[in-house]
A and B are shown apart, each in its own frame.
Chain A
Amino acid sequence: MTAILERNETPTPLPRPPSIVGDFRQWLLERGVLAVLIGTPIVAIIGGIFYRVMPYPFLLCAVLAAFVILPIWTTWRRRVSTNPAEPAHHLNRYALWALPAAAMFSVVRIPLHFMIGIIYWHPWYDFGNALTNTPLDSQSTLLVGGLLNLIQGWAMGLGFYILFKRFSLMNVLCYIAVWISALYSYDFAAYSRVGLQSPPYWHASMAWAHFGMAITLWFMPNVVAKRFWPRFGMPGRVGVIAVGALIVLIPSVFAQWRAVTWQFPKEAAIDNAAFARANLALVPGSTTLVSTTTDTRYSFTLRMGPRDYHNWFKQQRSLDAHGIEVTGQLSRNGQIIAWCNASVADLPSANFVTLPEKFAPVMKAVTYTNIPVTCQGPQATGQATTGSSRIDVNWTARMTLVGGQEVRDRTFTGQQSSVQLNGS
């Protein structure tokens, strides 16, 4: 009672004790919500293309919703915020600074393309295809994918400016060059690089790209905005904007140029080599007399392969084939004893595998693919067949071969003489 009276008599407010909940709430309002809204393009790519929890276009609805909410949230925070350092007050310039940093992620890998064959734009086809469903390896897909890639990098850079109070080199290098690199090393290798090796130099090249991005994220506020911009007159500022715009455009322009002048011709040559390499042969010991009831039925198996090849960015792929039509004859002593046919819509493919871990066994299984062929002939010819019968087999197979870019109709013909007939 005394204590209560004393407290009532002395109403001096005590200093507010540090509250973890209060601090977290403040952080959430000032930075957390903004970071989540800005991070939705990255969540969409990771969730839709890597983890495949939902189709990418569906997740883009979340991105659209976030970018509708963003101006409303920012306007409200600017109105109620008493903290001048709150990111909502500076979002426009952060957004501007993050653009060249996003592009620099690709720009710094251009020298690596010529030095060690790093191709930074090949995931762009997957991004573009996931959104527009346009064919892989088309320039329009590359254009859309490049834009999506830029948006992801931009969201990542903007996320840094939102999450961190101080834009020091140590902060940006820890966050972008080390942590994002480590996450990238895991996510791409585990969920995206189907049929691709991920050697240490690939991981190092990713870290180099993030390092370039991190340095640009530091450079923009600390050098361009603080030092260059206030000192420059109109021509200097126009120059700064022009250089920034050039950096933003370079990755996409370079990728389009290399796609036309290097990638597509190389891809066509690889496809044509794979078309020429594939063969269709009779599986030894597969020619069998199946039944001699109302008519005589035989079977044999053709094996197509090898179907594995490495495409223009060294990804292992299977050579696909559609619309396979096989015709043939079995003959003995120059006389046809049965007519054969087979029809297969599509050969099994490893190209639809979406997880790197599952790719190798599927690729191994489809490198050589069996095509069963059935034959039918008059009953009399079957009854005349003895255990030591040897027959001649010939076949013609027409199919459409599908490479990474090229498509070709091809006819395989073959003949095998004096084949041992099983089951006779």
Chain B
Amino acid sequence: MTSQLSVMLLVFVVALLPGLASRRMERSDMLTLVAVPIVMFPLAVLPGIIIWGLNKDSATYLLGMAIVVIVAVLNYRFQPKKRAAGQAEQVANASTVDSAMRES
């Protein structure tokens, strides 16, 4: 169990590193990242843990869930220029793409 968790911890951390280059996160995005893994846990994973006990694979889910929740909360809390830049970028997001598509 330990070797798999160590490998997956390393893999998840490395996978998140490129995210530092583009960290914008709305409040609803953060809430989605916190809520979805937690809500899915009793639906998708807990029944298996009750039947077969905690194993390396269910522990991997818990690890991933914990990483996502922690990273989402921390990233939202400490993201740069949270409000103003966020709203401006969001409007640009929709309008640029809209106009780009309309041009075609």
Q: Are the C-beta atoms of A221 and B97 separated by less than 8 Å? A: yes
Docked CA distance A170–B24 (Å) = 7
**A residues within 8 A CB of B33?**
171, 174-175, 179
A-side contacts of B19, CB under 8 Å: 168-170, 173-174
With beta carbons under 8 angstroms apart, the residue of A174, A186, A203 that contacts B16 is A174
How far does the Cβ of B86 sit from chain A's closest Cβ, in whole Å? 7
A-B contact count (CB 8 A): 163
A207: chain B residues within 8 A (beta carbon):
8, 11-12, 15
- The chain B residue sitting closest to A221, CB to CB, is B97
The answer to whether B44 touches A186, judged by C-beta atoms less than 8 angstroms apart, is yes
Identify which of A164, A167, A181, A199 contacts B64 (C-beta below 8 A): A181
Q: How far is the CA of A222 from the CA of B21 in the complex (A)?
A: 13
Q: Does A186 contact B8, Cβ atoms closer than 8 Å?
A: no
- A169 with B36: CB separation less than 8 A: no
A165 touching B16, Cβ below 8 Å = no
What is the distance, in angstroms, from B66's C-beta to the closest C-beta of chain A? 9
Task: Confirm or deny: A211 has a beta carbon within 8 angstroms of a beta carbon on chain B.
Answer: yes
Q: Do A166 and B86 contact each other (CB < 8 Å), given the known contacts A27-B28, A173-B16, A179-B37?
A: yes
| 12 further A-B pairs in the complex, CB-CB below 8 A; given A179-B64, A225-B101 | A166-B86, A171-B33, A174-B16, A174-B71, A181-B15, A183-B45, A186-B57, A191-B48, A200-B8, A203-B8, A230-B99, A237-B104
A to B CB contacts below 8 Å, 27 in the list: A46-B44, A90-B97, A90-B98, A165-B29, A166-B90, A170-B20, A170-B71, A170-B75, A175-B33, A177-B15, A178-B15, A179-B36, A179-B37, A181-B64, A182-B64, A182-B68, A187-B44, A190-B48, A203-B4, A203-B7, A207-B12, A218-B22, A221-B97, A225-B97, A225-B100, A226-B100, A357-B51
Residues of B within 8 A of A (CB): 3-4, 7-8, 11-12, 15-16, 18-26, 28-29, 32-33, 36-37, 40, 44-45, 48, 51-52, 57-58, 60-61, 63-65, 67-68, 71-72, 75, 86, 89-90, 93-94, 96-101, 103-104
User: A-B pairs with the 8 shortest C-beta distances?
Assistant: A182-B64, A170-B19, A169-B22, A200-B7, A189-B57, A186-B61, A168-B24, A165-B26
